[in-house]
Structure 1
Amino acid sequence: MKRTILFIHSAGSQEGEHEGSNDLLRRLREGLGAGVTLLAPRMPSPDNPTYASWKKALDALIPTLPDEAVLVGHSLGGSVLLKYLSEEAFAPRIAGVVLIAMPYWGVQDWDVSEYMLREDFPTGLPVIRPLYLYHSNDDDVVSPDHVKYYAKLLPTATVRTPAGMRHLFAKPCPELIDDIQGLL
């Protein structure tokens, strides 16, 4: 039986071969192989995203997922996914969540209110085990400090800080592939 992964990409153009989350997505497809259905839908207006438009897209996508799907979000896609999971009710049971290079909204230079989580957001989350938080120690877009904020609020999450992946995780990351395969 093929397992399903829903991948929510970052903000910014996803058109070119090496733009946005495309290299990460290609690495995931290569590493996970043909036995996986990897859904990576176009999100609305990635060059000018809004939480409301991405939430609407997730409202249409999430109910169509089979039980035991894995949810993966990169950068803005990760933070939108986490906000959605903490604020919305949804039917499918999920096998796990992997959030990569995710900004923590509300800290200096990242104070965009529409993306901020509620103060009590962990209480709104369904039981998600396992939950992986990935952030490269040399991220050149979102400071590696951001994952520390999440780790403090989500103590059951497994935090991984691989070296040399920068923000886009464009190089192979065997640990990431292993963790996702472990969820399938």
Structure 2
Amino acid sequence: MKKTVLFIHSAGPQEKEQGSSKLSAYLESELRDKYQFVIPKMPNPENPEYVLWKNKLNKELNMINGELVLIGHSLGGSVLLKYLSEESFNRSLSGLFIIAAPYWGLEDDWKSKDFTLQNNFEKKLPEIPNLFLYHSRNEDIVPFTHHKKYADKFPQANLRELEGKQHLFHYGLPVLVSDIESL
């Protein structure tokens, strides 16, 4: 039985060729022989609300059986961390992969009570055997300082600090594929 990858996309438009669509299509193309993919369209991505995303995530998780790999891109990564640290999660998790996620509340441009993590959220997470954080050093959408903040919170994480300024990874993310295959 194949493990399931649940991919939670970024905010903003998600139609073909937009947002996380190219990245998720790339990952599915590269890994479909070994993994089953679930890539839900999250509610109202151009004006996201945490409670709606939480409810959709909960619904998707309840439909998945077996071992699970979670991937969150940008806002999707923030949502996964918030969900895992605030909700009851008793599932077998192979790995958590967070790509270019904003750390809400870190900077003036990144204030949102809706998505801000609780104090000491990292201590409230379930056991995560494999945690990976990816971020481009010079990207201009989510500053690299957000990655550094997550890195400080997760000293056990595998850090993938990437050259360049990609945020959407339209041409894929081969290191992510390799990391998932290494599980």
Alignment match, 1:160? 160
Equivalent residues in 2 for 1:133-144 (5 A)?
133-144=133-144
Q: Return the alpha-carbon distance in structure 1 between the equivalents of residues 92 and 114 of structure 2.
A: 26
Q: Return the alpha-carbon distance in structure 2 between the equivalents of residues 62 and 26 of structure 1.
A: 20
Alignment match, 2:172? 172
SS, match of residue 22 in structure 2: helix
Alignment match, 1:50? 49
**Shift of residue 56, structure 1, vs aligned partner:** 0.7
Equivalent residues in 2 for 1:69-148 (5 A)?
69-108=68-107, 109-148=109-148
Q: Is there any run of 5+ residues in structure 2 with no aligned partner, and where?
A: none
**Shift of residue 165, structure 1, vs aligned partner:** 5.6
**Shift of residue 162, structure 1, vs aligned partner:** 1.7
Corresponding pairs, count: 182
Amino acid at match of 1:63: N
TM-score scaled by structure 2? 0.94
Alignment match, 1:2? 2
Q: 1:122 to 1:94 in 2, by over 3 A?
A: same
**Shift of residue 35, structure 1, vs aligned partner:** 2.8
Identity of aligned residues (%): 46
Q: Return the alpha-carbon distance in structure 2 between the equivalents of residues 46 and 171 of structure 1.
A: 22
Contact 1:136 1:144 in 2 (8 A): yes
Q: Return the alpha-carbon distance in structure 2 between the equivalents of residues 78 and 160 of structure 1.
A: 15
Q: Is there any run of 5+ residues in structure 1 with no aligned partner, and where?
A: none
Q: Return the alpha-carbon distance in structure 1 between the equivalents of residues 165 and 179 of structure 2.
A: 16
- 1:48-68: CA deviations, max 9, x gaps? 110010011112112222232
TM-score scaled by structure 1? 0.94
Q: Return the alpha-carbon distance in structure 2 between the equivalents of residues 172 and 90 of structure 1.
A: 29
Equivalent residues in 2 for 1:57-76 (5 A)?
57-76=56-75
Greater CA drift, 144-153 or 163-172:
163-172
Amino acid at match of 2:142: V
Q: Return the alpha-carbon distance in structure 1 between the equivalents of residues 71 and 141 of structure 2.
A: 19
Greater CA drift, 166-175 or 52-61:
166-175
SS, match of residue 19 in structure 1: coil
**Shift of residue 94, structure 1, vs aligned partner:** 0.7
In the TM superposition, structure 1's runs of 4+ consecutive aligned residues that sit over 3 Å from their partners are: none
Contact 2:22 2:172 in 1 (8 A): no
SS, match of residue 114 in structure 2: helix
SS, match of residue 4 in structure 2: strand
**Shift of residue 151, structure 1, vs aligned partner:** 0.6
Q: Return the alpha-carbon distance in structure 2 between the equivalents of residues 72 and 24 of structure 1.
A: 11
Alignment match, 2:24? 25
